[in-house]
Amino acid sequence: MTEIPSKIEGLQITYGSLRQLLAKTGFHLGGGYSYDHGYLDKALDWESNDGYRYYLRIPLHAISGELESDQAVVKEEDHLS
């Protein structure tokens, strides 16, 4: 994974607000999330020769509530382990 610096690093917002904003541009909560952290993913393109799919991924950490709850307060993290 390649990290890209962003102005949203450290942003704190409710999950519902963030989900509504980013769903318009094709982001969704990626599989394998847990109650306290996960990723918002957006498929970028398909590499037809090798069958690879590339994603833009935004790591999130719930600082209040559970991740999938619209009322949860989430923070964009520069990376998750």
Q: What is the mean pLDDT of residues 72-77?
A: 90
Task: Say whether pLDDT at 13 is over 90.
Answer: yes
Task: Say whether pLDDT at 12 is over 60.
Answer: yes
Q: Could you please report the per-residue DSSP string of 31-68? A: TT--SSEEEEEEEEEEETTTTEEEEEEEEEEEEES-TT
Q: Would you place residue 19 in the very low, low, confident or very high pLDDT band (cuts 50, 70, 90)?
A: very high
Q: Would you place residue 79 in the very low, low, confident or very high pLDDT band (cuts 50, 70, 90)?
A: low
- Containing 9, the helix (H) or strand (E) segment is none
3-state class of 73 per DSSP? strand
- What domains appear along the chain, each with residue ranges and CATH number? 12-76 (3.30.310.100)
pTM across the whole model: 0.78
State pLDDT tens for residues 24-73.
Answer: 999 999 888 888 999 999 988 877 777 778 889 899 999 999 988 999 99
Tell me the C-alpha distance between 47 and 49, whole Å: 6
Please report the pLDDT score of residue 5 as a whole number: 80
